[in-house]
Structure 1
Amino acid sequence: MESRPEPFSWWVAFRNPAENYRNHPTYLVPDVIYHVIAALLLAHALRRGGRYPCLYFSALAHGVFTEVFSYWVPQINNFWHGHATVMFAGQRLPSYIVCQYIAVIYTSSVAAARLRLGLFATACATALTDSLYYHVFDVTGVKMLWWSWHDTDPNVYDRTYWVPWGSPYWRLSFASSFTLLFHGVHGMLGGQGMFQKGSLVAELGSAAVAVFLTFPVGVATQFIPLFHVVKDILVSELGSAAVAVFLTYPVGVATQFVPLFHVVKDVHGERLVAELGSAAVAVFLTFPVGVATQFIPLFHVVKDVLGVHAKRQLELDIDDLSVTDCLFSR
Structure 2
Amino acid sequence: MVKNQDLRSPGVSYPSIDYENFWDWFVQVSDIEYHWKHEPTYLISQFAFLLGGLLTFIHALIKRQRFIYLWIGILLHGLVVEMMSYWVPDIDNFWHSQTPIIFLGQRLPLHIIFLYPCFLYQASVAVSKLKLPLWAEPFAVGLCTVLVDIPYDIISVNFLHWTWHDTDPNIYDRHYWVPWNSYYFHACFAASFTFWFHFFRRRMCSNKDGGKWEASTMWKEILCTLFASLLGTPGGILMFIPIYHPLHDVYKLHSEVTFFILFAIFLLIIWSGDRKAQRNNNDIKPKTFKSTFLLILHLIVHYTSFLIMPIFFKPEDEIAVGLKEPVGPCDKIVPVQTVFGVLKKRQFLCVSDYDEKYFDFHCIPKEQIPPHGSHWYTACGVPLQNQVEMIAIVSLICVIACCVFWNLHFNSFGDEAIATKLKATKVSTQKKKK
Interval containing the TM-score (normalised by the shorter chain): 0.7 to 0.9
Instruction: Write the deviation string for residues 208-241 of structure 1: whole angstroms up to 9, x where unpaired.
Output: 1111111111111x11222122111221123322
Q: Aligned match of 1:232 in 237, 243, 249? A: 249
> CA offset at residue 74 of structure 1?
0.6
Identity within the alignment, %: 31
Partner of 1:46: 61
> Is 1:65 matched with 2:89?
no
Q: Structure 1 residue 199 and structure 2 residue 194: aligned?
A: no
TM-score calculated relative to the size of structure 1: 0.75
- The answer to whether the 8 Å contact 1:230/1:240 transfers is yes
Query: Is 1:319 matched up with 2:349?
Result: no
Stretches of structure 1 that go unaligned for 5 or more consecutive residues are 254-274, 283-313
Aligned-CA RMSD value: 2.9
Partner of 2:425: none
Q: Counterparts in 2 of 1:82-161, with a 5 A limit?
A: 82-161=97-176
- Paired with 2:114 and 2:234, the residues of 1 have a C-alpha distance of 22
Q: Judge conservation of contact 2:140–2:267 (CA < 8 Å) in 1.
A: no
Is the partner of 1:223 in helix, strand or coil?
coil
Q: For residues 48-104 of structure 1, what are the alpha-carbon distances to aligned partners after superposition, in whole Å with 9 as ceiling and x for unaligned? A: 111111111111111111101111111100000000111111110001111111110
Contact residue 143 and residue 266 of structure 2 kept, 8 A: no
| Cα drift, residue 5 of structure 1 | 2.8
Corresponding residue of 2:289: none
Q: Distance in 1 between matches of 2:158 and 2:262?
A: 25
SS of equivalent residue, structure 1 residue 103: helix
Residue by residue, what CA displacement relative to the aligned partner does 1:236-284 show, whole Å, maximum 9, x if unpaired? 123322332234579xx9xxxxxxxxxxxxxxxxxxxxx99627979xx
Given the superposition, is the C-alpha separation of residues 320 and 244 from structure 1 closer, same or farther in structure 2, using an over 3 Å criterion?
A: closer
1:257-272 matches, within 5 Å, as none
Distance 1:323 1:112, change over 3 A: farther
Q: Counterpart amino acid of 1:232? A: D
- Secondary structure of 2:154's match? helix
Deviation for aligned residue 1:169: 0.7
More strand, by proportion: 2
Secondary structure of the corresponding residue to residue 115 of structure 1: coil
Contact 2:138 2:194 in 1 (8 A): yes
Aligned-pair distance for 1:324? 6.7
Unaligned runs of 5+ in 2: 6-18, 278-314, 316-355, 365-375, 379-434
Aligned residue type for 1:228: H
Structure 1 CA distance for aligned equivalents of residues 213 and 65 of structure 2: 6
Ranges of 4+ aligned residues in structure 1 off by more than 6 Å: 279-282
Aligned to 1:16: 31
Count of residues paired in the alignment: 272
* Alpha-carbon distance, 1:322 to partner: 3.3
Q: 1:223 maps to which residue?
A: 240
1: distance between equivalents of 2:225 and 2:116? 15
